[in-house]
């Protein structure tokens, strides 16, 4: 963990997701905005694609008004199979940048990601028309018109469309001004804390002396309330164990030993900005994202976990994310569906189906938070495709 000790407590905080079709320039754009490559694994760097959620934070300052704001960016995975990860990222953002490469235009994932944002109730969207350096004026204009048509009637209908070249650093300032104009959602500080875990890590280098070891780290965002160093916390569903041939989950209790927002060490966290909570847990428990999808709060304040949920759903007319058009067929009894609840991803089998309501029996239990929503994805030819959305009832 870094050691910067600047006071960022009074800055406005916003969490912004960067989404769009693979290769349209999301990671490059993030680098231009923050000067950092989103926190990715070497495996991902080798393959040149983001396969997990990456973070990069920055403090933006307006060159016109001097207004300052702290922004945590979440880089969505570019791989089409990982729409589910993208949706779990959508659970932790306030706003999004949708990147569309001007030379390629609207692609299947452009559509899928926009609908996914809509599904997750993300209403503030900035559209970046990227790679403007690769097209002539005519083509740029045509692409702009295509984008206009594409967003008509969607949540992004009135979103600004900003022509940019992430690679050639064209118009990045304009994008920054736009990010400074986004509304900060109202934060609920009085309720019990709800922290959604998107990643979990072992941050120790191999060979670290025992006395210098850091405890297990949870990465994610605080939805409401506050958390401070020394707080006792509970983590649910927690640790998965096999007991009497059955998979069971055990709530984990621990203490927060340090908190970091981006590169800044802080003592107390309020909503806004992505956080790393260092705990007193053994790193074995947190390494390789093993606690991703969990929810953290004060001991005794989270609802009981459940592996049975009932949702009210709505299906799309067409399957999203595919190149060719395909109508969505109705849900089938006993069908396996991929669901996204909070930051967790779980397969659920339909156990009861009636009208627009379905009951699921889940592979991995969830923490049923009030007003929880979910994407509904079906496996089509080996790929999970978004076919609808639902609300837990
Ligand atoms: P991602 O998959 O959406 O994260 O896309 P990347 O950021 O990895 O970019 C994919 C490729 O497009 C890389 O080779 C980038 O260098 C290139 N690229 C990104 N932005 C631009 C741009 O504005 N202009 C041009 N010419 N290339 C770009
Ligand atoms: Mg990328």
SS (HEC) of 38-78: CCCCHHHHHHCCCCCCEEEEEEEECCCCCCEEEEEEEECCC
CA of 30 to the centre of ligand 2 (A): 9
pLDDT reported for residue 373: 87
Mean pLDDT of the chain: 90
φ and ψ at 130, to 5 degrees? -95, 170
pLDDT reported for residue 42: 46
φ and ψ at 246, to 5 degrees? -120, 145
Residue partners of 153: CB distance under 8 A and separation at least 6: none
Nearest bound ligand to the CA of residue 135:
1
Cβ of 166 closer than 6 Å to ligand 1, yes or no, is yes
CA of 25 to the centre of ligand 2 (A): 7
pLDDT reported for residue 12: 93
pLDDT band at 206 (very low <50, low <70, confident <90, very high): confident
CA of 29 to the centre of ligand 2 (A): 9
pLDDT band at 368 (very low <50, low <70, confident <90, very high): very high
Q: Does residue 111 or residue 134 have the better pLDDT? A: 134
CA of 6 to the centre of ligand 2 (A): 29
pLDDT reported for residue 1: 42
Per-residue pLDDT, averaged over 137-143, amounts to 98
Cβ of 24 closer than 6 Å to ligand 1, yes or no, is yes
Per-residue pLDDT, averaged over 294-314, amounts to 96
Pocket test of ligand 1: the residue of 23, 52, 89 to mutate, having most ligand atoms within 8 Å of its CB, is 23
Q: What percent of the chain is modeled with pLDDT above 70?
A: 93
Cβ of 25 closer than 6 Å to ligand 1, yes or no, is yes
45 pLDDT above the threshold of 60: no
Closest ligand 1 atom to residue 50 Cα is 4
Closest ligand 1 atom to residue 99 Cα is 3
pLDDT reported for residue 3: 43
Q: Which of 6-20, 34-48, 108-122 has the lowest mean pLDDT?
A: 34-48
CA of 262 to the centre of ligand 2 (A): 19
Ligand 1: which residue has its CA nearest to atom 22?
Answer: 131
Cβ of 176 closer than 6 Å to ligand 1, yes or no, is no
Closest ligand 1 atom to residue 21 Cα is 3
pLDDT reported for residue 122: 92
pLDDT reported for residue 2: 45
Cβ of 131 closer than 6 Å to ligand 1, yes or no, is yes
Q: Are 71 and 36 in contact (CB under 8 A)?
A: no
41 pLDDT above the threshold of 70: no
179 pLDDT above the threshold of 70: yes
Q: What is the pLDDT of residues 307-365, one digit of tens each?
A: 999 999 999 999 887 878 899 999 999 999 999 899 998 999 999 999 999 999 999 99
pLDDT band at 185 (very low <50, low <70, confident <90, very high): very high
pLDDT band at 40 (very low <50, low <70, confident <90, very high): low
Cβ of 78 closer than 6 Å to ligand 1, yes or no, is yes
Nearest bound ligand to the CA of residue 25:
1
139 pLDDT above the threshold of 70: yes
Q: Are 20 and 102 in contact (CB under 8 A)?
A: no
CA of 23 to the centre of ligand 1 (A): 6
Per-residue pLDDT, averaged over 234-243, amounts to 94
Cβ of 159 closer than 6 Å to ligand 1, yes or no, is no
50 pLDDT above the threshold of 80: no
pLDDT reported for residue 269: 95
Closest ligand 1 atom to residue 132 Cα is 23
pLDDT reported for residue 8: 81
Cβ of 167 closer than 6 Å to ligand 1, yes or no, is yes
Q: Which of 45-49, 333-337, 378-382 has the lowest mean pLDDT?
A: 45-49
177 pLDDT above the threshold of 60: yes
CA of 25 to the centre of ligand 1 (A): 4
Q: Are 333 and 327 in contact (CB under 8 A)?
A: no
pLDDT reported for residue 310: 95
Q: Does residue 335 or residue 74 have the better pLDDT? A: 335
Model pTM score: 0.89
pLDDT band at 47 (very low <50, low <70, confident <90, very high): low
CA of 114 to the centre of ligand 2 (A): 17
238 pLDDT above the threshold of 90: yes
């Amino acid at each position: 963990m870094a050691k910067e000790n600047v006071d960022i407590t009074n800055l406005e905080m916003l969490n912004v997701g960067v989404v769009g079709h693979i290769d349209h320039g999301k990671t490059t754009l993030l680098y231009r905005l923050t000067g950092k490559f989103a926190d990715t694994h070497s495996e991902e760097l080798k393959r040149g694609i983001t396969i997990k959620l990456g973070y990069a934070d920055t403090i933006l300052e307006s060159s016109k008004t001097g207004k300052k704001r702290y922004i945590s960016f979440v880089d969505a995975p570019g791989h089409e199979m990982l729409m589910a990860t993208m949706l779990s990222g959508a659970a932790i953002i306030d706003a999004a940048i949708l990147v569309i490469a001007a030379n390629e235009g609207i692609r299947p994932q452009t559509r899928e990601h926009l609908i996914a944002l809509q599904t997750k109730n993300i209403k503030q969207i900035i559209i970046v028309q990227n790679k403007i350096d690769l097209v002539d004026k005519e083509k740029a204009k045509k692409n702009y018109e295509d984008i206009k048509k594409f967003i008509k009637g969607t949540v992004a209908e009135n979103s600004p469309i900003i022509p940019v070249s992430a690679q050639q650093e064209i118009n990045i300032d304009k994008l920054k001004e736009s990010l400074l104009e986004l509304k900060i959602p109202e934060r609920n500080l009085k309720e019990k804390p709800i922290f959604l875990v998107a990643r979990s890590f072992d941050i120790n280098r191999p060979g670290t002396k025992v006395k210098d070891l850091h405890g297990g780290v949870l990465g994610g965002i605080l939805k409401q309330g506050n958390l401070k160093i020394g707080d006792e916390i509970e983590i649910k569903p927690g640790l998965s164990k096999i007991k009497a041939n059955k998979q069971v989950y055990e709530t984990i209790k621990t203490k927060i030993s340090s908190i970091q927002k981006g590169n800044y060490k802080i003592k107390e966290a309020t909503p806004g900005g992505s956080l790393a909570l260092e705990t007193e847990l053994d790193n074995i428990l947190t390494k390789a994202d093993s606690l991703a999808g969990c929810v953290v709060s004060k001991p005794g304040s989270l609802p009981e976990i459940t592996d049975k949920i009932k949702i009210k759903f709505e299906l799309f007319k067409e399957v999203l994310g595919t190149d060719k058009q395909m109508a969505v067929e109705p849900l089938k009894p006993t069908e396996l569906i991929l669901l996204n609840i909070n930051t967790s991803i779980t397969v659920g089998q339909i156990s009861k189906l009636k009208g627009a309501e379905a009951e699921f029996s889940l592979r991995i239990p969830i923490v049923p938070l009030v007003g929880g929503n979910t994407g509904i994805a079906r496996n089509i030819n080996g790929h999970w495709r978004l076919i609808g959305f639902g609300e837990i009832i």
